[in-house]
A and B are shown apart, each in its own frame.
Chain A
Amino acid sequence: MNAAALANPALAKDEFDPASIVTNDPVVRVEAISKHYGATEALRSIDLQFERGKLTTLLGPSGCGKTTLLKIIAGLVPATSGRIVVNGRAVTGPGPERAFVFQDFALMPWATVMRNVAFGLELKGRGATERNRIARHYIEEVGLQGFEDKYPHELSGGMRQRVGIARAFSVNADVLLLDEPFSAVDEQNRRKFQEDLLRLVEMERKSFIFVTHSIEEAVYVSDRIVLLSPRPGRVSNVIEPRIDRTANPDDIRRDPGYLDVVEEIWQGLRHYAE
């Protein structure tokens, strides 16, 4: 659980390989997933592979099924057809390899930050000393030290989401599924969060599947962006931003390469908006 031991700076500077859209060792494979809610067709025949150790973003217009797809991967919502393969094994429900960060935080209002962060471990029957030690580590990791004994209603929206992120980290899953984690955060804090997220991606050797509405956010944090079309959701494009993340954050946001990718995605999504 020691972060330093898990840190793998090499991961962040991986060479980009344009042929790697399909990888040999995907952590999650989405195979021909379709989803109907009654008469509503939410997703149509989605095929995707998520690379290990990478951050992949699902981006698309509102209602295109991003949350649905993420929840199907999490095993929280059953697919109408198709299958989800995690670490080479087909899964039908939630599992210890996956941890979810909820858009509405899903924190227990009656529990302190400490208990909320440790809740995943509590459910697994870990002893109080062990789970509090692990929880404390991740509380510090997300910058909430000093707030261990606060209740969620005493925190700001951004701080609450950090609690949700720390909780997902503390169960040591391979894949973190994040559903618009920063949507309740103002613009300045959002940037800070994105940088913090990148730092966590670098420190923890985990794979991330990230849902967002924001094109800039997607380009800034992602190794790979999956564009979904409006309902029924289908994969319309896959983009690899190739951002050099060793540069300083402000330079990245002014980098012509970064701006070009934002523009490319915007052009791709534009015809849906019209």
Chain B
Amino acid sequence: MSVMSDDTSVAPPAGATRMQSLRLFAERRRSFWVVLSLLALFTAWEIAGRIPISFAFPTFLDTLAAFFEMVGDGTMIRAFFLTLQPLVLGVAISALLGIGIGIAMGLSDKLEWLFAPVFIVLQAAPMAALVPLVTFVYGIGLVAKTLAVIMLALPVIVLNSYKAVRHVNPSLVDMCRSFQGSRRQQIFRIIIPDASPVLFAGLRLGVAAGFIGVMLAELLITPTGIGDLITYHRSVANYAHMYAAVAAIIAASTVTLALLQWFETNVMRPEKRRS
């Protein structure tokens, strides 16, 4: 996922043939394999669209054309603007609240007993079924959609953060105590850094769940943003445009998760860059 993390520029040795330098490139660069994997996916998509496997399944190139058309006429950008509002808001609230509650639960048994049952139930509940209920209470506006995002993102972030703190290496905590570290130093210099890989795993799952939440909200509560593009183009049988909207939101989600991973390896855990 961290495409940029292990790229090393490789100058082909003097006199190397083009084939050799390509092989060298393939061995050193992960981006080569990412591109290869995407090419394979898109080729399969193109072939499946040309057979076609269904009259409602457009080819990759048609979808790409539809995508650029929608970017060109501004509909895609407007749709993202609408979709990103509840998404960013909901994910930000879930991340802050979720990591906070999760860490607190990990640090205190009392808080664990208080919160764990709630979030375990919430995580187990089929949230999609609850999304329409939100509409009853909060209508069809930004609040309802933000709530839908939070409902999906928060439990997984809380439970992962909690688990992350509980799995901190006890010997590191002892080490901090043996040097008379305060509880505060223990939390911020040992527990949170040591928990950060699992914290980030929870955050990534939470962000992915947030994307599900916002799409559910836009498809179930009221069609706006990307959800509206999907619904509208389906209703008028504009399948290439519909798929372009679906693919765009998937791409947005993937890029967000990759950025999160990049942030984790480069900012939080510098040692992971070298190995």
Contact = CB atoms under 8 A, between A and B. Distances in A.
Nearest to B190: A108
Nearest to B172: A106
A104 B171 CA distance: 8
Contact of B271 (A106, A123, A151): A151
Interface stretch (A49-57, A92-100, A139-147): A92-100
A108 B180 contact: no
Nearest to A125: B185
B186 to A, nearest CB: 9
Contacts of B178: 74-76, 94, 98-100
Interface string B149-184: 000000000000000000001011011111111100
Nearest to B193: A110
Size category, B interface = 20 to 34
A154 interface: yes
B181 A123 contact: yes
Contact of B177 (A76, A122, A171): A76
Contacts of A109: 194, 269, 271
B274 A102 contact: no
Contact of B179 (A104, A110, A119): A119
Interface string A192-213: 0000000000000000000000
Interface string A9-25: 00000000000000000
B269 A110 contact: yes
A120 interface: yes
Main secondary structure of the interface of A (DSSP, over half): loop
B274 A151 contact: yes
Interface residues of A, number: 28
Interface string B233-275: 0000000000000000000000000000000000011110011
A106 B270 CA distance: 18
A123 to B, nearest CB: 4
Given A94-B178, A110-B270, A102 B190 contact: no
Nearest to B272: A110
A94 B182 CA distance: 11
B180 A123 contact: yes
B194 A94 contact: no
Contact of A99 (B179, B190, B275): B179
B171 A106 contact: yes
Contacts of A100: 174-175, 178
Interface in B177-210: 177-182, 185, 189-190, 193-194, 196
A134 to B, nearest CB: 14
B172 A94 contact: no
B274 A154 contact: yes
A254 interface: no
Contacts of B174: 71, 76, 100, 102, 106
A170 B196 CA distance: 28
5 contacts: A94-B177, A94-B179, A100-B178, A109-B271, A123-B181
Shortest 6 CB-CB distances between A and B: which pairs? A151-B271, A106-B175, A120-B179, A100-B178, A123-B181, A106-B171
Given A102-B175, A123-B185, 4 more contacts: A74-B178, A76-B177, A109-B271, A123-B180
